[in-house]
Amino acid sequence: MIPVALGSPDNWFEKRFSYARRRLLDHLSELEEQGLAPEYHEIFKHPQQGPYGESLATDAIWLGSLSAENVIVLGSATHGAEGYAGSAIQSFILHCLTRNKLRLPPNCALVLVHALNPWGMAWHRRCDEQGIDVNRNFIDFSQPLPQPVAYELVRECLTEPDEVRREKALASLLDQLGQQGFDEAVFGGQYHDPLAPFYGGQQKSFSREVTESVLKQFALAGRNLMVIDLHTGLGPWGYGELICDHPIDTPQEAFAMKAFGESVAMPARGNSFSAVKEGLLDYAWHQVMSERSCFLTLEFGTYDSRALLKTLVDEHLVWAGDSDAKVKHGESYHRMMQHFCPNDIYWRQSVLFKSWQVMDRLCSGDVF
C-alpha cells in the first residue's frame, strides 16, 4: 500500500539548511492546525553561521503526551550532509501524521531531533565545525584515546593526497587485516588527525552536548525508547538497513528483533554493511535505556564503501587547504550531495517509503 501520495520527491528534499528547517517548521504548523501541537520545542542555537549567512540550530520537538511511557525518537544529520535526506524524512513523517497516514498509539510520544549537526548540514560536510565525526565522539575522554590497529597504514589511507599511493596503502591494509578488520580500522574512528575523515575529536562536540541536554531536558531516562537515527551513504543503492549496535544477546537486541525481525543487522555479529565502531551516538542513549528499548541506525545505501572513502578523503583534502571556506564549500558541494543525498527519484522514493514503513511498524501498538 502506498501510504500517501509521495508526489515529486522534490517536495521533500532541500539543498540548503535554512530551506530544510523552514520546511520542517511549516509541516509542524500544519500538524498543529490538525490539533497535534508540539508539547515542547527546544531550539539549540549553534554559534556559527552557514555559507549563506544563515543562523544554525538543532530543533528538538516533543509530540504527544509528555507523560507517555513509550517514546519514538527520530533523529537527523548526526552526519551533517546526510541531513538533507534525514530532514526530508522528518518532514514527510509529519505530513503522514497530519494526513492520518500514521497515528501515534496510546501512551506513545514522538521526539524529533532535527539537524543534530547543523553546521555540517549547512556546509554539506559530514563532520562538524571542528572536523569531528559526531558519530565517533561519544567516548570517555578521561581515558587514553583509542588507537586503530596498523595506524600508520590507516593514516595513509585517510590522508594521502596521491591517489596511487593511497590505493597501495588501501590494498596493503586489506591484505593485512582482511575485509572486516580493514573496515573496523578505517571506518571505526581515529582520534589523531582532525583534518581527516572519521576523526572522533578530543573533547565533547556541540552535537554531543545537545544530545546530553535532550536526554535530560526531555526526561528520557527510564522510559521505553525506540531511537531511529537517520543516515545515508553506506550499503546498496536505496536499501534502508536497520543497524543495531547493542551488545549481542542483550534485551535491547531482542527488542529490536521483536520490532523488525530478521531485517535487523548487527555489526557485532558481522551481518551488517557497517563495521564495529568507536564512539557512536548510540552509546549515550544505551546508558539510559530500559530493557524495552533500543537504538537503531537507519542507513540508506548509495554507493559502495570505496566510493564513500574516496569522496570523504577528497573532501577533507579540499577543506585542509588554505582557500576561503565558501570556496571549499563550492568545490565539494556537488560530490557530497551526490554521495549522501543523490538526486534520483527512485532513491528518494525508496528512502521515504522505507521510513514510513519503519514508523508504521513502531506506531502499530505491538512494539512497546
Least separation in angstroms between CB 82 and Zn ion: 5
- By CB under 5 A, name the one of 136, 166, 231, 286 that touches Zn ion: 231
Q: Which is nearer to Zn ion, 9 or 197 (CB)?
A: 197
Stretch that binds Zn ion, among 101-109, 146-154, 155-163, 224-232 (CB under 5 A): 224-232
Angle between helices 251-260 and 345-362 (to 10 degrees): 110
Q: What is the DSSP string of 194-225?
A: TTSTTB--SS--HHHHHHHHHHHHTT-TTSEE
Q: Which residues contact 304 (CB under 8 A, 6 or more apart)?
A: none
Contacts of 49 (CB under 8 A, 6+ apart): 55, 56, 122
Give the interface size with Zn ion as a residue count (CB under 5 A).
3
Query: Crossing angle, helix 325-340 and helix 305-320, to 10 degrees?
Result: 170
Query: Minimum Å distance from CB 245 to Zn ion?
Result: 13
Q: Which is nearer to Zn ion, 61 or 81 (CB)?
A: 81
Point out which span in 43-51, 197-205, 211-219, 230-238 binds Zn ion (CB under 5 A). 230-238
Q: What 8-state DSSP symbol labels residue 100?
A: T
Question: Which residues between 55 and 94 bind Zn ion (CB under 5 A)?
Answer: 79, 82
- Nearer to Zn ion among residue 191 and residue 198 (C-beta): 198
21 binds Zn ion (CB under 5 A): no
Map the footprint of Zn ion across residues 257-316, applying CB under 5 A.
Answer: none
Contacts of 334 (CB under 8 A, 6+ apart): none
- Helices 83-98 and 345-362 cross at an angle (nearest 10°) of 50
Residues 311-340 that bind Zn ion (CB under 5 A): none
The distance of Cα 159 from the centroid of its chain, to the nearest Å, equals 24
Shortest Å distance, C-beta 135 to Zn ion = 6
Distance of closest approach, residue 237 Cβ to Zn ion, in angstroms: 16
Q: Which long-range contacts (CB under 8 A, 24 or more apart) does 236-239 make?
A: 236/273, 236/301, 237/301, 237/302, 237/303, 237/347, 238/300, 238/301, 238/346, 238/347, 238/350, 238/351, 239/300, 239/301, 239/350
Of residues 38 and 201, the one with the C-beta less far from Zn ion: 201
Q: Name which of 220 and 234 has its Cβ closer to Zn ion.
A: 234
Query: Least CB distance from residue 256 to Zn ion, whole Å?
Result: 19
Pick the closer one to Zn ion by CB: 104 or 312.
Answer: 312
The minimum distance between CB 63 and Zn ion, in angstroms, equals: 24
Torsion of CA 187, 267, 226, 233, to 10 degrees: 40
Smallest gap from residue 231 Cβ to Zn ion (A): 3
**Interacting span for Zn ion (CB under 5 A) from 147-155, 226-234, 315-323, 327-335:** 226-234
Instruction: Find the helix or strand (DSSP H, E) in which 308 lies.
Output: helix 305-320
Nearer residue to Zn ion within complex by CB, 165 or 306? 306
Question: Given the complex with Zn ion, which of 187 and 319 has the nearer CB atom?
Answer: 187
Beta-bridge mates of residue 241: 299
SS3 29: helix
Smallest distance, Zn ion to C-beta of residue 232, A: 7
CA 337 to chain centroid: 15
Q: Give the footprint of Zn ion on this chain (CB under 5 A).
A: 79, 82, 231
